[in-house]
Amino acid sequence: MLRGMKRLNRYENRILRIAKLGGKLVRLKQFGFSSKTEEGFRFPIYVLEIGKPKAIKKNVAALIAGVHGLETIGIRVLLDFLDDLLSHKTSVLYKEIKNGELGVVCIPILNPGGVAMKRRSNPRGVDLMRNSGVEAVKAPFFFGGHKYSNFFPYFRGNVLQSESRVLDRFFYEYLLNAENEMIPVVDIHSGFGTIDHVWWPYASTHDPCADEPLFQKMANHFTNTLNHYLYRFGPQSETYTTHGDLWDRLYDLFLAKRKFNPNTRNSRFLPLTLEMGTWSDIKIDPWKIFRKRGIFNPARESKQKSIISHRKFLSDVMRLAKQKADDLV
């Protein structure tokens, strides 16, 4: 049996419990499959729809986690957020969802094979965040993505992987034709650096994306008005550049397609990557650097605190789905 199978089962049971907890407000869908393991096994990939179907069409926000199989803390942050949302029915976000003002769609584990096999890549050895086919202007050697062999980490793969195609389908089904003015997405990762970064496109180039002014405005709003000053906001390329970022590709696809749809001509697609800094507590738990998932996840002592600390941030990002860009001050 695969070493991470128990963990994957635990997360999947939690997804089921969350679907039950939400009652009529939540729908669980099996949305696709992972790529095949060497034994020919594919793992199902699930989507949770939270809110009324009409709201999901009009004012949608999205949450993704588990793109990298070792970054399991991101999956727990996402599940904790949903658990908390659906068990405290007095929160503003819950009421908005209940009233049909907005909806949240989630892929809690995009790379279940990576979780089960305890590795960053998918079952084919492809790093999904290097897989989109986008060529960076200039990326760091190796870490920025390479095509040598799936024997090494950061392998880009030669074709778009099943998991990447599931994200594509999710984008086409829920995000591309959404009618909200701002369509916020958070993709939760972990492991880089000592503080929590929030990145927007691009990863492939230092050129600013078309929505750079709006992203900057949003960052100011989050830092100064909403007090999320512990997060460091910026385009991803400010930290490092890579080939093949999936959000780079979907962001450009959105720009290219939306002009043909009169309902969404004024919509802005705002994919954010939350990269939780998990190196900061190496001092609390120095042994973590010797554990396989160590540097990708917080030390045991600070884990629960760290998970809970993102609830307010995620809720504030999801609420952008029903706001206007002019509301951000």
Minimum CB separation from Zn ion for residue 9, in Å?
22
Q: Which is nearer to Zn ion, 71 or 196 (CB)?
A: 71
Residues in 198-227 at the binding interface with Zn ion, rule: CB under 5 A: none
Nearest CB to Zn ion, comparing residues 52 and 189: 189
- Nearest of 282, 24, 319, 39 to residue 186 by alpha carbon: 319
Q: Which residues contact 314 (CB under 8 A, 6 or more apart)?
A: 63, 77, 81, 186
In angstroms, give the least distance from the CB of 109 to Zn ion: 13
Residue number, 68 or 76, with CB nearest to Zn ion? 68
Name the residue nearer to Zn ion (CB basis): 51 or 69: 69
Residue with Cβ nearer Zn ion (71 or 163): 71
| Cα distance between residue 86 and residue 10, in whole Å | 19
Determine the Cα–Cα distance for residues 35 and 108; give it in Å rounded to an integer. 17
How far is the C-alpha of 180 from the C-alpha of 324, rounded, in Å? 8
Is residue 130 within the footprint of Zn ion (CB under 5 A)? no
- Residue with the two structure tokens 């949903």: 82
List CB contacts of 255: < 8 A, sequence separation 6 or more: 210, 269
Under a CB-based contact definition with an 8 Å cutoff, are residues 146 and 156 in contact?
A: yes
CB 319 to Zn ion: min, Å: 25
**Residue numbers 37-76 binding Zn ion by CB under 5 A:** 68, 71
- By rule CB under 5 A, what count of residues binds Zn ion? 3
Report the residue number whose CB is nearest to Zn ion: 189
- The residue (of 27 and 118) whose beta carbon lies closer to Zn ion is 118
Specify burial of residue 18 (Cβ count, 10 A radius: 0-12, 13-18, 19+): buried
CB of 189 to Zn ion, least distance (A): 3
Contact 323, 182 (CB under 8 A): yes
- Identify whether the C-beta of residue 270 lies closer than 8 Å to the C-beta of residue 184: yes
Separation in Å, CA 27 to CA 76, 144, 184, 308, 315: 19, 37, 20, 24, 19
Residues 8-37 that bind Zn ion (CB under 5 A): none
From the CB of 280, what's the least distance to Zn ion, in Å? 17
Min. distance of Cβ 68 from Zn ion in angstroms? 4
For residue 118, the minimal CB distance to Zn ion (Å) is: 15
In this structure, which long-range contacts are made by residues 301-304, counting pairs with CB atoms below 8 Å and at least 24 apart in sequence?
Answer: 303/73
C-beta of 71: minimal distance to Zn ion in Å?
5
Nearer to Zn ion, 190 or 267 (CB): 190
CA-CA distance, 133 to 119, in Å (whole number)? 21
Cβ distance to Zn ion smaller for residue 14 or 68: 68
Site for Zn ion in 171-190 (CB under 5 A): 189
Give bridge partners of residue 184 from the DSSP assignment. 270
Binding site for Zn ion (CB under 5 A): 68, 71, 189
